[in-house]
Amino acid sequence: MTGDPVGMHRVLEPLGALPQAAARLDTDPAIRDDEVRVRVQRLNLDAASFRQLSDKHGGDGEAVRAEVLEIVSRCGKMHNPVTGSGGMLVGTVEEVGEGSPLGLAVGDVVASLVSLTLTPLVIEDGLAGWDGLSEQVPAAGYAILFGRSIAAKLPKDLSMPLALSVMDVCGAPALTERHVRQYADPVVVVIGGAGKSGSLCLAAARRAGARRTIAVVPHAAERDLLEPTGLADHVLVCDARDPVALRDAIAAAGGPADLTIVCVDVPGCEGGGILATADGGTVIFFSMATSFSAAALGAEGLAADVTMIVGNGFVPGHAELALEIVRSEPAVRRLFEGRL
Amino acid sequence: MTGDPVGMHRVLEPLGALPQAAARLDTDPAIRDDEVRVRVQRLNLDAASFRQLSDKHGGDGEAVRAEVLEIVSRCGKMHNPVTGSGGMLVGTVEEVGEGSPLGLAVGDVVASLVSLTLTPLVIEDGLAGWDGLSEQVPAAGYAILFGRSIAAKLPKDLSMPLALSVMDVCGAPALTERHVRQYADPVVVVIGGAGKSGSLCLAAARRAGARRTIAVVPHAAERDLLEPTGLADHVLVCDARDPVALRDAIAAAGGPADLTIVCVDVPGCEGGGILATADGGTVIFFSMATSFSAAALGAEGLAADVTMIVGNGFVPGHAELALEIVRSEPAVRRLFEGRL
């Protein structure tokens, strides 16, 4: 029996919801003709989700682990109810339906590039190998990929943690590249430029033709990390939640931006992103902490003629582009390796 | 002395907050060089705000009036602390700073198109002409517009309630027009096509070159309202929260869409908007009920290469465009007048 390509046949409640919006998924290990079952080795929790869980439990790793297990068991997927976000997984292909369009074979080591919030998942080891203190979660269990899911084989020339860490944020540089190309010699601001997606976006922006790149970081330690790499023309230490301070700092560094990319996973950066950007410019929000209404009402209240984009994690060719940047930009690779 | 264009110089507390986020604004009637003072005639409270106040006081108009006076006196603006919303005002320009970029002259009758939640306001008549029983509030007092505020002259050929009702949603058709022009002969889907913003978007899409317009409405009564107007080539009755049903209905009507515009104020329409749209297409979300993470993760989970836009209520020329549509499209005007 062939499944629905987006996985509607796995939705238990509410009926009619897409798997991502569903409260509970069917985790039956028996696959349909177009599905793939993956033996899970590792989960990579979304940064906003991990931070919320860690903050909620005051950094108590045992409590974080217990809540992740509870969510997966109740929902049949890892879907943080507060942040709405999930993460990704790595595993080995265990069974491939004969009608699967994903091009995978049994034994392939793959990363899922669709969110854990829509991926049927069963954890079988109680996450015994995880201390609850980092986003990288060793895990044993299985997951199901649908006909329209996206999975990438892990490259052989990069370590698994590094490849996973790159693929987790690979949508950001690809979408950045696309939007940079829509402007002639643009000024590009990356808020959170020393982070994983931020450093990839800085490199992607320069390759795509940015005239000037400006990175915003929250404190001197991140400036000292980023500045020597040369990935950005300017590195500014500024609280992105203070919109006027941010606007003024960026103006002094050669702004405002034609394109602003918000890569920090803290709430309250909508006004800063908008005020950093020139009229006619674009703001891409990649942070899952973004509030839709704060962005919409903020731009209207500031009479800001900016195009605001919901950062879509899927762009064709995104994983290949991000891995290529990491291979060819030693500075980006060092930043990633420093965070593993 | 010239003010800050977004009004930071009027923020009394907390310092550093934008006027919209501030607890209290400075209502000094002496204007800065780039400000405008307006003699207020009428406030139009946001519908959600008025409903909350009326419900809280059990429909007691005296108590509602007293609370509005208390809020404005305490905050220096009309900012409902529960709903977070404000409304708009109508008045006559009383004084124009010589550096004001708004293009207004003393005596102009204007509507403010930025929210009351960020507009310094003083009420001088105790709202004696208002019974506290409707959102339309006759008022005497003054308000301050900043350099970057937006105000539109009220047209002389339309009634004030009709003009206000159009200006309230005027960002949607302007942004629709801009994005329709980015495609050659596109198919445009408007979810919520029989509503105020929806009907304006349908008309704007056709004017901007849409090859085919498809309206989605929730029930037969709205179809019977919209179909005879001819504003849409197809009118579909479909629950926009059911993404697969929506996808299939739109495909049968000549879709998928190059541009999908979501104008309905109910949660859960993100997946439908995405699945209604072709790869390479655009979805604009105007609904304040949109979830950022549901949109971002939904598109990723569906491997949908669509550009998702946060509907910005400000586009230059938006009020003029919307009023022009209402003047020249009798069907749109009748839909609006039927909702006054």
Q: Residue A161 has what pLDDT?
A: 85
Instruction: Judge whether B189 and B206 are in contact, CB under 8 Å.
Output: no
Q: Which one-letter amino acid corresponds to residue A183?
A: Y
pLDDT category of residue B21 using cuts at 50, 70 and 90: confident
Q: How far is B287 from chain A (nearest CA, A)?
A: 9
Taking each continuous run of H as one helix and of E as one strand, the counts in chain A are 11, 14
Q: What is the pLDDT of residues B268-278, one digit of tens each?
A: 899 999 999 99
Distance, in Å, from the CA atom of B307 to the CA atom of A174, rounded to the nearest integer, reads 13
Residue ranges of B 249-288 with Cβ closer than 8 A to chain A = 268, 270-271, 275, 285, 288
Q: Residue B84 has what pLDDT?
A: 83
Say whether pLDDT at A301 is over 90. Answer: no
Q: How far is A275 from chain B (nearest CA, A)?
A: 10
Q: What is the pLDDT of residues A192-229, one digit of tens each?
A: 999 999 999 999 999 999 999 999 999 999 999 999 99
**B285 contacts: CB under 8 Å, gap ≥ 6:** A292, A310, B262, B270, B273, B295, B308, B309, B310, B311
Q: Residue A337 has what pLDDT?
A: 94
Q: Residue A53 has what pLDDT?
A: 97
Please measure the distance between the N-terminal and C-terminal CA atoms of chain B and give it in whole angstroms: 43
Q: Which of B149, B243, B313 sits opposite A18 (nearest CB)?
A: B243
ipTM for the predicted complex comes to 0.89
- Across the A/B interface, how many CB contacts are shorter than 8 Å? 164
pLDDT category of residue A160 using cuts at 50, 70 and 90: confident
pLDDT mean over A178-202: 97
CA dihedral A259, A197, B292, A43 (to 10 degrees): 170
Q: How far is A232 from chain B (nearest CA, A)?
A: 26
Q: Which residues of A touch B241 (CB under 8 A)?
A: 16
Residue ranges of B 127-156 with Cβ closer than 8 A to chain A = 148-150
Supply φ then ψ for residue A330, to 5 degrees. Answer: -55, -30
How are beta strands B109-112 and B151-153 bridged, if at all? antiparallel
Supply φ then ψ for residue A141, to 5 degrees. Answer: 165, -160
Q: Which of A244, A298, A313 sits opposite B296 (nearest CB)?
A: A313
Q: Which residues of A touch B307 (CB under 8 A)?
A: 309, 312
Distance, in Å, from the CA atom of A323 to the CA atom of A155, rounded to the nearest integer, reads 9
Say whether pLDDT at B114 is over 90. Answer: no
Instruction: Measure Cα distances from A323 to A153, A166, A327, B324 in Å.
Output: 12, 7, 6, 51
Angle (nearest 5°) at CA A39 between A34 and A43: 110
Q: Residue B286 has what pLDDT?
A: 92
Distance, in Å, from the CA atom of A246 to the CA atom of A266, rounded to the nearest integer, reads 15
* pTM recorded for the entire structure: 0.89
Mean residue pLDDT of chain A comes to 95
Picking from A136, A146, A127, the residue whose alpha carbon sits closest to that of residue A22 is A146
Q: Residue B224 has what pLDDT?
A: 97
**B45 contacts: CB under 8 Å, gap ≥ 6:** B53, B68, B78, B86, B87, B116, B135, B137
Distance, in Å, from the CA atom of A268 to the CA atom of A275, rounded to the nearest integer, reads 13
Say whether pLDDT at A164 is over 90. Answer: no
Helix H or strand E segment including A220:
helix A220-226
Partners of A284 in the β-ladder: A261, A309
Say whether pLDDT at A66 is over 90. Answer: yes
Q: Which residues of B touch A115 (CB under 8 A)?
A: 297, 300-301
Distance, in Å, from the CA atom of A183 to the CA atom of B153, rounded to the nearest integer, reads 34
Distance, in Å, from the CA atom of A47 to the CA atom of A31, rounded to the nearest integer, reads 30
Distance, in Å, from the CA atom of B329 to the CA atom of B323, rounded to the nearest integer, reads 10
Distance, in Å, from the CA atom of B54 to the CA atom of B76, rounded to the nearest integer, reads 21
Q: Residue B339 has what pLDDT?
A: 83
Distance, in Å, from the CA atom of A64 to the CA atom of B204, rounded to the nearest integer, reads 50
Please give the sequence-ordered ranges of beta strands (E in DSSP) within A115-218, or none if there are none.
121-123, 136-145, 151-153, 187-191, 212-217
Sheet holding A307-310, edge to edge: A234-237, A212-217, A187-191, A257-262, A277-285, A307-310, B307-310, B277-285, B257-262, B187-191, B212-217, B234-237
Alpha helix positions (H), chain B:
47-56, 61-75, 160-167, 171-180, 196-207, 220-226, 243-252, 270-275, 292-301, 318-328, 330-337
Picking from A332, A309, A326, the residue whose alpha carbon sits closest to that of residue A232 is A332
Supply the DSSP string of A147-173, one letter for each residue. TT--EEEPPSSS-HHHHHHHHTTTHHH
Of A8, A20, A259, which to mutate for an interface test with B (greatest number of B Cβ within 10 Å)?
A20
Residue ranges of B 283-322 with Cβ closer than 8 A to chain A = 285, 288, 290-316
Question: Which structure tokens are listed for B300?
Answer: 């990723």
Say whether pLDDT at A320 is over 90. Answer: yes
Say whether pLDDT at A339 is over 90. Answer: no
Q: Which residues of A touch B316 (CB under 8 A)?
A: 305
pLDDT category of residue B71 using cuts at 50, 70 and 90: very high
Q: Which of B19, B149, B301 sits opposite A114 (nearest CB)?
A: B301
**Nearest residue of A to residue B146 by CA position?**
A302
Rg, C-alpha atoms of chain A: 20
Q: How far is A217 from chain B (nearest CA, A)?
A: 19
Q: Does A313 sit within 8 Å of B299, measured CB to CB?
A: yes
Please give the sequence-ordered ranges of beta strands (E in DSSP) within A154-271, or none if there are none.
187-191, 212-217, 234-237, 257-262
Is some CB atom of chain A closer than 8 A to the CB atom of B240?
no
Q: Which one-letter amino acid corresponds to residue A238?
A: C
Q: What is the pLDDT of residues A9-54, one digit of tens each?
A: 999 999 888 898 899 999 999 999 999 999 999 999 988 899 999 9
pLDDT mean over B221-233: 97
Q: Does B114 sit within 8 Å of A301, measured CB to CB?
A: yes
Q: Does B313 sit within 8 Å of A300, measured CB to CB?
A: yes
**B124 contacts: CB under 8 Å, gap ≥ 6:** B140, B141, B142
